[in-house]
Structure 1
Amino acid sequence: MKNKIQTLKLEIRDTKYDEFENSIFFKLLQYLYRLLKIVFSKTFILLLLSATLTSCQSEEKIKLEQYYIGGKEIYEQNCANCHQKDGKGLQNLYPPIAGSDFLKNKDKVIWLIKNGSKDTISVNGKTFSQPMPANIHLQNLDIAEVVTYIYNEWKVDNKITEVSEVEKVLNKN
């Protein structure tokens, strides 16, 4: 019975197809198909793996990026007019933030951003007497973001200034 079925199959098959199936071109197409199948499956796996790894940022890293971006916007709206976008200050009128020794005391920076100052200030051995306006409209989160931006942008540290840290400083007095 098995032989009869095979014989029937062979009789039914088109001889042109047999010739094509045995041709070098057909074998090359089959090889190419298998090769592409392997390459694309490996490429897909690599893409999926890299997408997974890059999207798995820690919550801390995501929060730092959010604070940095929010802080940059606040800085550009409220601080850059005097301290400039590059943080280098304005000649002898307004002190630099970039490279400033004043940044060594984060509590003073937080206090100054919120409350301003009419006093003379010394930055990097240079005296500045222009008053700094208070930013009473800024919320504690805004201040935390702008301090995070300042400290990360000008390489003082690379961490988040938490809202609780701002609250602690501002509630001292």
Structure 2
Amino acid sequence: MSLKIGTYRLLGRSTLAYLNAIAPKAADLVADRFGRRPLAVTEVVLTNPSGLAALFTRTQAAAANIPGDQAGPAARLLRAEPRKLYGTTGLRPGKGGGTLTLINVRRNRDRRALDETLLYELVTVDQLSRPRSRDRFITVLRDRCGIDPQPERVRRAWNKDFKADDAEAAQVVQQLLPRLH
């Protein structure tokens, strides 16, 4: 997996240095666990709550080809309010595809929380690399923004799939966390 690590609206360097050191091993653990490689490019960005919301909304709208004036509802795909989130993963816009993982440094104050968040989001990266997952994610984005509304039964199926993915990610994090250090 190709990892790019950076910051957005953030000045701290110690967390960035730690993430640069631990991320490749975490990515290898996740790849070995699933026996396949995640998407080609994974960009991990450390940010604050406002940066997380702004960057997520802008990039997901671009990835799903949603006009800027209709992109606001894309933030509804966040699992919680940005200030309460530890991190989130979405699609990376552009021809190369890949994923964008945003990590809220205000919620990840210690290394254990950062380790758990990174592993969880890398499992999400792997889940997004599964067949038809990217297309499903784009369809959900376009539905939430009112571009291509879907029937309620389809929305219920998505919610069921997202809950199953969350449960799987939580389980895998607990399995891999002791092996990270």
Which interval holds the TM-score relative to the shorter structure? under 0.3
Which of 1 and 2 has higher RCO (CA within 8 Å, sep 6+)? Answer: 2
The structure that is helix-richer by fraction is: 1
Larger Rg: 1
TM-score, reference length from structure 1: 0.25
TM-score, reference length from structure 2: 0.24
The structure that is strand-richer by fraction is: 2
